[in-house]
Amino acid sequence: MHSDLFQITSKIAILARSGRTQCARKLFDEMSHRDAVAWNAMLTGYSQLGLHQESLSLFRHMRISNTKPDHYSFTATLSACAGASELTHGVKIHALVIVSGFQSSLPVCNSLIDMYGKCLRPFSASKVFEDMQSRNEVTWCSLLFAHTNSCQFDSAHEVFHMIPKKVEIAWNILIASHARCGEVELCLNLFKEMRESLCQPDQWTLSALMNACSESSEFSYGCLVHGIIIKTGWSSAVEAKNSVLSFYARLGCPDDATKVFESFGTLTQVSWNAIIDAHMRVGDTQESFLAFQRAPEKNIVSWTSMIAGYARNGNGDEALCFFVDMMRNCVQPDDFAFGAVLHACSSLAVLGHGKMVHGCIIHFGMNADVYVGNGLINMYAKCGDVEGSSRAFNEIPNKDVVSWNAMLFGFGLHGRAGQALWLYEQMVACGVKPDKVTFIGLLMTCSHLGLIEKGRFFFESMVSVYGICPEMDHVACMVDMLGRGGFLAEATELADTYSVTDNAKASSSEALLGACSAHWNVGVGAHLGETLKILEPQKEISYVLLSNLYCASGQWKEAEMIRKAMLDQGVKKMPGCSWIEVRNKVTAFVAGNHSHPYLGDICKILHFLEFEMRNPCFIGFEKRKFEITFFR
């Protein structure tokens, strides 16, 4: 019997390791007698394949069966808790570890540190570390990761300097953590120290350096690191090569990315995803689609890259079609996939499709996810449903600063200044520190609703209270607000003070020129218009605003000269466009386009609506007349 048990357990382990978990589980369930080794084989199989919930469920069944877990059981289950970010389960298993007397087991303690680190609880990880009697390299590296994963870099560096022997993985953890923040110079300094300590970098070190260049968009540093990869002989390593490919893809260099892609001997899933992203980033959606079609396997990243790329390039309909195809192919969407398709719904302003995606989010239990929740807030606001936006905001249990900013912009977008300002007060009261985006939202709200004193207060407190230096968008909002309110001298002075770069000057000048048009200030407006034509010769806004200003003041000859200059420069005015959604179908109306099949009927309805607004005393009479003539 013992021999049979051993053979079946060995088969379970082999099947689970090869990914055939259903066969392994069938064999496991058919066993008449199971010992701890059999349970551990199945637990480890689930955990190593990323089937974390299945692993946790099996552990619960193990407890019910009265089989005592050993250190293998605990390490596999804690690994599942770490992978699924199940802190509550992890804490309960920690208690069971203590009750079962395994608190002195080195592998179990290392797994506890790893679990707390991945669940963003570095203090708990440190507590386990301090209580340990013996430690090894895994212990130190797990504790280091716990601090870097929570962005506690000061504590991480203290741990790093305390490590008795700094192995390659410790250096890699520290470099990779700073790489995620785009701190490329700090990463290169650590790399230099690593080489000086006679510790040899591997492909993971170099890929982390390359990722730092990608995050910081530093092209020159990226080329430097690429050279180091070639010089150190790691150019054929898959991980290093994929990081180089991703770098050129993210910086919008499709030719360089294609050269790296074509040099691959064996293409991995990461390689295909990177080349898809490379073409999407330069707007070549057709090449991206062809790469997607050629990829032998497609994972959630492949689908998300296509959905996000289409949405980013203004092809919202294609993004939605890809999302539907992904669902039909039984690929379970994650938070990034939902974020991408919600962005597509926002750009299309199609509420019906947005609600459909919201239903999918609820079905997959992701409505409490902060990233997805932020996308919902934005989608509902852009689609005109501020109440839906507010509900999505209230359903996020752990709101971040992006959540507050998205809701603040939503209220501002719909002219609800009172609610926007109340939300800001709540945000500060909850201990959330406003950032530069918060103040852009506040200043835009104040500008659009003429709250000049409030705007001045926010601009001042942004600098004096929160230490945020005014950027181009803040100054443009202030200039626009002051200009709209008739404070042209103050607006001009503010623009001159803060507009250092050409981009900042152009942004401020556009806002000032708009204010001059509103207040018919031809003298200042003409000067600003000429400045803008030099700074942005191919943008139509300076020509249009200046022409309108001349027309409003009766200077028809000057207006005609501006229109002629616009024509000579080859600058075309983007026609005005509006759209309406009826029964999940969007109908667009473009200025100058009279091809709509029901244009005559639409114009009749607009005529009656305009008459009612201008003559409220005739509403009943005119409505009856309208019904007789239009619906007979």
Q: What is the 3-state secondary structure (H, E, C) of 284-295?
A: CHHHHHHHHHHC
Query: What is the C-alpha separation between 406 and 416, in angstroms, rounded?
Result: 14
Per-residue pLDDT, 611: 80
**32 CB neighbour count, 10 Å cutoff:** 8
Rg (CA), the chain: 31
Range 470-575: architecture per CATH: Alpha Horseshoe (1.25)
Per-residue pLDDT, 480: 84
Indicate the residue type of 489: A
List of residues 6+ apart from 298 with CB closer than 8 A:
292, 329, 331
Contact between 202 and 230 under an 8 Å Cβ cutoff? The reply is: no
Per-residue pLDDT, 618: 59
Per-residue pLDDT, 181: 84
Q: Which of 532, 513, 533 is nearest to 523 (CA)?
A: 513
- SS3 at position 471: coil
- Residue 588's beta-bridge partner residues? 579
Burial class (CB in 10 A: 0-12, 13-18, 19+), 523: exposed
- Residue 577's beta-bridge partner residues? 590
Q: Tokens for 578?
A: 């509006």
Q: Tokens for 203?
A: 């492909």
Per-residue pLDDT, 7: 82
Phi, psi angles (nearest 5°) of residue 466: -105, -5
- Residue 587's beta-bridge partner residues? 580
Contact between 380 and 389 under an 8 Å Cβ cutoff? The reply is: yes
Query: What is the C-alpha separation between 547 and 556, in angstroms, rounded?
Result: 9
Contact between 354 and 383 under an 8 Å Cβ cutoff? The reply is: yes
Contact between 415 and 381 under an 8 Å Cβ cutoff? The reply is: no
In whole angstroms, how far apart are CA 334 and each of 67, 364, 420, 491?
Answer: 35, 9, 31, 46
Q: Which of 501, 453, 515, 449 is nearest to 473 (CA)?
A: 501
Ordered by start, the domain boundaries in the chain are 399-465, 470-575, 577-631
Contact between 536 and 563 under an 8 Å Cβ cutoff? The reply is: no
Per-residue pLDDT, 500: 63
Per-residue pLDDT, 9: 81
Per run of 10 residues, the mean pLDDT along the chain (length 632 residues) is 71 82 85 85 88 90 89 93 90 94 94 94 94 93 94 92 92 92 88 89 90 85 88 83 85 82 78 86 88 90 94 91 92 92 89 91 88 94 92 91 94 90 93 92 88 91 89 86 82 76 69 70 68 69 72 75 73 70 71 76 82 71 53 50
Q: Tokens for 66?
A: 């009265």
- SS3 at position 151: coil
Per-residue pLDDT, 214: 85
- SS3 at position 365: coil
- SS3 at position 110: helix
Phi, psi angles (nearest 5°) of residue 553: -95, 5
Per-residue pLDDT, 619: 57
Q: Which of 495, 549, 494, 544 is nearest to 521 (CA)?
A: 549
Query: What is the C-alpha separation between 513 and 5, in angstroms, rounded?
Result: 84
List of residues 6+ apart from 270 with CB closer than 8 A:
238, 242, 246
Angle CA 188–191–193, to nearest 5: 115
Contact between 371 and 355 under an 8 Å Cβ cutoff? The reply is: no
Query: What is the C-alpha separation between 550 and 278, in angstroms, rounded?
Result: 46
Q: How far apart are the first and last CA of the chain?
A: 90
3-state secondary structure 397-452: CCCCHHHHHHHHHHHHHCCCHHHHHHHHHHHHHCCCCCCHHHHHHHHHHHHHHCCH
Per-residue pLDDT, 538: 67
Phi, psi angles (nearest 5°) of residue 587: -115, 125
Q: Tokens for 460?
A: 């001042």
Burial class (CB in 10 A: 0-12, 13-18, 19+), 370: middle
